[in-house]
Amino acid sequence: MRFVQTLYYRLYGIHIGRRTMISLGAKLDVHRGRISIGDDCLITHGCVIVSHDGAAKMIWHGATGEGRVVIGDNVFLGVNTIVLPNVTIGSNTVIGAGSLVVHDIPSGVLAFGSPARVVRQLPVPYPRLTANDHPKTEWGSPSSC
């Protein structure tokens, strides 16, 4: 099922890297399709990644509302994280559960909160997310993530 979801996102032009797991309970905005997610990422349950902003058209005349989101490699988005348009999240970064990401977040950090802010650097070398970090049930779909 997750394969079909990933295929659907890719058909809409979203770049999803190798071994990246996107929970079936997450939502990617395919309206404009300007989302890029690197390799080995874990996008957990309830995450929403938004690449356009309809509100901008109402606030600023002439605004298209179009944007983009770029997520590096080996990024963990905790449950119910929302990533707004025109944000870049660097590689090897963890975003804590329930965060609202409105500004760029650099590589190799833990960040959380609303708006998400860097809390601390992560130790290097960065452990890479593996298949074991992508929990599966006997049906092959994510359990808690």
Ligand X SMILES: CC(C)(COP(=O)(O)OP(=O)(O)OC[C@H]1O[C@@H](n2cnc3c(N)ncnc32)[C@H](O)[C@@H]1OP(=O)(O)O)[C@@H](O)C(=O)NCCC(=O)NCCS
Residues designated catalytic: 52
Residue 72 near residue 86, CB atoms below 8 Å: no
Size of site (CB under 6 A) for ligand X: 11
78, 89, 92, 105: residue in contact with ligand X (rule CB under 6 A)? 78
How near is the Cβ of 15 to ligand X at its closest, in Å?
A: 23
Which residue, 70 or 100, is less far from ligand X as judged by CB? 100
- Across the beta sheet with 82-83, the strand order is 27-28, 48-49, 82-83, 100-101
Site string for ligand X, 88-117 (x = CB under 6 A): ------x-xxx-------------xx----
Which residue, 67 or 78, is less far from ligand X as judged by CB? 78
Does residue 144 belong to the site contacting ligand X (CB under 6 A)?
Answer: yes
3-state secondary structure of 104: coil
Which residue, 22 or 94, is less far from ligand X as judged by CB? 94
Does residue 84 belong to the site contacting ligand X (CB under 6 A)?
Answer: no
Residue list 12-31, contact with ligand X (CB under 6 A): none
30, 56, 79, 84: residue in contact with ligand X (rule CB under 6 A)? 79
Neighbours of 121 (CB within 10 A): 11
Residue 96 near residue 61, CB atoms below 8 Å: no
Q: Rounded CA gap, 98 and 46, in Å?
A: 9
C-alpha distance from residue 12 to each of 7, 118, 130, 142 (Å): 9, 31, 26, 23
Q: For binding to ligand X (CB under 6 A), which residues are involved?
A: 44, 78-79, 94, 96-98, 112-113, 144-145
